[in-house]
Structure 1
Amino acid sequence: MDTLISASNYLSTTPSIAAPHHAAFKASPTGGSAKRAKPKLAKDLIAPSYAWGLSYLIYAVSLYLGLGTVSFIVATSALTLIIKIPIILTATLLAGFGLSMLAQAGHEGMHGSMIPNKIISAVLGIGASSMVLTYFEVGFAMRHWAHHRFTNRMNDPDIHPSAHLTIWWQRVLFSRPLYNKIYFKNTIVMALGKPFKIDYSMSYSLKTQIAFARFNLIVAFGVFSAYSYVVYLNPLAGLFIIGLPHIAALIITSCQSYVDHAGLDADDLNNAYSRTSLLMTALSFGTNYHLEHHAYPHVPCYRLPRVHKLLLAANAIPNPQHVIVPSFWGAYKAVGKAYKPNQPKEDFNPFIIS
């Protein structure tokens, strides 16, 4: 059975790689120390956990369907409208974050970080993320390794599709449908056994990638059928449990690329944000520590808060005032910041375990 290529031997399996910058980095244009080493991580920070991984999935599903159900119950109750509206809005927003977490579960799964078994981790992630209509994790993952290798650089595949969206409301309304269209096309191409060439692809064999893509399409069709049946049986239930949370998730996930990277440069430990609000962590299960994820892509999201503390203790972040965002709503200011490549095509290998 194929497994994810380990972080320690990734470099030897990938052709034409520039000298890795994983051990140290230069100061960014915004200031900071000239050269700092990333601390080594203990094995307990790197190894995925069955308990934590399954807790992530249960929590995300409960947040989505549980709060969606609360919204439906309140909407169909005898409560007055002035009481119903704030409860429904709050429950819908929280259910949207649950859906966003399910999409992120696909990301964790394809990184092999959900649970210890890499293949099952990917399968669980694909299955969970398929609960988000129109989102296809395999199509996203086909480009994601290149995003890590070229973060905020000319060859970062996450930047160019939305480059024409420069106003915040355009990004909120249109970026997610735009990216999901690309991911769907990628998944179809992979499922047909005709993947296109990309600088750095997923660290699974082609046979496994094709199987993942076909599984993604099958599960997505099953989920769509189940949702359609719910709407057929009870349109109001479909609206409040499925429809409105998906609208909320569309807005939340449309902001994702920007709250992760917009307004930053391409230097290691300065190319992503660390959104440290406790509320953000509660609604993201640790995926909000995106700076830490890019520094150590092999670390499960539920351990990233501990990695954050380790980086702070080691004084390893050159510009903490620029990349650490303690405010929940303050993190969304990045939706209006410039998101464009700011350095030439050059890669580094973040997959090596320091």
Structure 2
Amino acid sequence: MASQLHSKPQVRLDRALFKARPGESLLVIGYALSLYVLPLALFVWVANNASTGWLLLSAPLLVLAGYGLFLQAILGHEGFHFNLSANPMRSCYLGILTSSLLPGFCVTGYFVDHWQHHRFNNSAKDPDYRHFSRYRSLASRIAVSRLAATSNYLHATLRLAFGPQSEPSPLPLSAAHVQRLARCNLACQLGWLGLYTLAMVWVDGLLLGFGLTLAVAFLLSAVNAYQEHAFSAGPQQPPARSRTSRLSTWLHAGSNFHLEHHFYPAVPCWRLPRVHRQLLDSGWYADKHYLLERRFVASFKYASGRHPYRGDTVND
């Protein structure tokens, strides 16, 4: 019989870690935008001004840009956790504005599932467990899992925007507020798509660069769920994994500390490395190193079928 092992650590954190600061949030938003826009712009410049050989050598720029684009979705996640502003609605609007840079990703519909994911982590009531655990091969996880999830989030956002207001609200906001957020989300999606289209008409090479960047971001988002929740087969059912390499922290803005996020979702992701260090210093991780992945490249192995997306069968 499988069992859930880890309750929230009994460690008192500095209350300042939980406080949303607009200046910090804007700096992180600027960092994510820079990681996306600057490598993409440099790749487009190379595509327009250099030889094919230099174009191939500049391909790693698209990996950086892909991480930057994926970070926009993470900022949407932070916004709906109310971590971008002390004002919950302002935080959500900031999350919508940034995450809508990723075409097709509707964070409002996503968070309906994500809210339940936090409430029922890894149980049969967890929407993420029900969705991602059905994909057992690397090919289906990469090609299908995220595409299907993104489609579900879009349909959920459409229902929230134009369907009857649900009671009770599916989020810790009023039904009227959720409807406004969903409509804003769809408007931002259309707005960014329009700006992308205009930019691609004006800038030679942008269509190629953006298309490849979007493909990288899609692949990163597809494997991310398994990097966070897939473990080797066995009786233990850990709640989540933290990836602790410095490169992961830079590229994910701290959201790679996913176990800490599940324990403390009201702490902005860029402060989670501090939470992790405090848990290490307290000795909480002394016998729990299997919850950590210290190597950047090795973390991608969890997308393979050898590592099932875990569920807590005690609660099934």
- Name the residue aligned to 2:197: 228
- Paired residue for 2:19? 47
Return the match for 2:131 from 161, 178, 199. Answer: 161
Say if 1:262 and 1:334, in contact at 8 Å, map to a contact too.
Answer: yes
Give 1:172 deviation, angstroms. 1.3
Structure 2 residue 240 is the aligned partner of structure 1 residue 272: yes
Post-superposition offset of 1:65:
1.3
Q: Alpha carbons of 1:27 and 1:120: their partners in 2 closer, same or farther (altered >3 Å)?
A: closer
Write out per-residue CA displacement over residues 112-168 of structure 1, whole angstroms, 9 at most, x where no aligned residue: 012322221110001100000010000001111110011111111012223332111
Q: Could you tell me whether the CA contact under 8 Å between 2:4 and 2:237 is conserved in 1?
A: no
Q: Which residue of 2 aligns with 1:66?
A: 38
Distance 1:231 1:58 in 2: 22
Q: Which residue of 1 aligns with 2:268?
A: 300
Q: Write the deviation string for residues 176-231 of structure 1: whole angstroms up to 9, x where unpaired.
A: 11110000000000001436689x93211111100000000001001111111122
1:218 — aligned with what? 187
TM-score (structure 1 length as normaliser): 0.82
Per the alignment, residue 145 of structure 1 pairs with 115
RMSD between superposed Cα atoms in Å: 2.4
Ranges in structure 2 where 5+ consecutive residues have no aligned partner? none
Structure 2 residue 91 is matched with structure 1 residue 132: no
1:77 aligns with 2:49: yes
Task: Give the match for residue 223 of structure 2.
Answer: 255
2:57 maps to: 86
Q: TM-score, normalised by structure 2?
A: 0.91
Contact kept, 8 Å, 1:99 with 1:249, in 2: the verdict is yes
1:270 CA drift (Å): 3.3
Deviation per CA, 1:304-349, whole angstroms, max 9, x where unpaired? 0000011111122475321111111111111121014232438xxx
2:69 to 71, 89, 99: 99
Q: Does the C-alpha gap of structure 1 residues 178 and 56 become closer, same or farther in structure 2, counting only changes over 3 Å? A: same
- Structure 1 consecutive aligned stretches of length 4 or more whose deviation exceeds 6 Å: none
**Distance in 2 between the 1:204 and 1:54 partners?**
24
Q: 1:270, 1:318 within 8 Å by CA — same for their partners in 2?
A: no
Decide whether the 8 Å contact of 1:231 with 1:237 is kept in 2.
yes
Gaps of 5+ in 1: 1-25, 347-354
> Which deviates more, 117-126 or 209-218?
117-126
Is 1:264–1:272's contact at 8 Å kept on the other side of the alignment? no
Closer/same/farther in 2, CA of residues 214 and 264 from structure 1, 3 Å limit: farther
Tell me which amino acid in the other structure corresponds to 1:123: Y
Equivalent pairs: percent with the same residue? 30
Q: How many residues align?
A: 311
Q: Structure 1 75/311 Cα, relative in aligned 2: closer, same or farther at 3 Å?
A: same
Residue 158 of structure 1 aligns to a residue whose secondary structure is helix
1:208 matched to which residue of 2? 177
Q: Does the aligned pair in 1 maintain the 2:48–2:204 contact within 8 Å? A: no
Mapped to 2, the partners of 1:45 and 1:327 lie a distance apart of 26
Structure 1 window deviating more from structure 2 (304-313 vs 226-235): it is 226-235
- 2:255 corresponds, among 287, 311, 334, to 287
Structure 1 or 2: more helix by fraction: 2
User: Is the 8 Å Cα contact of residues 52 and 302 (structure 1) preserved in structure 2?
Assistant: no
Q: How far is the alpha carbon of 1:246 from its aligned partner?
A: 0.5
Question: 2:232 and 2:165 mapped to 1: Cα distance?
Answer: 31
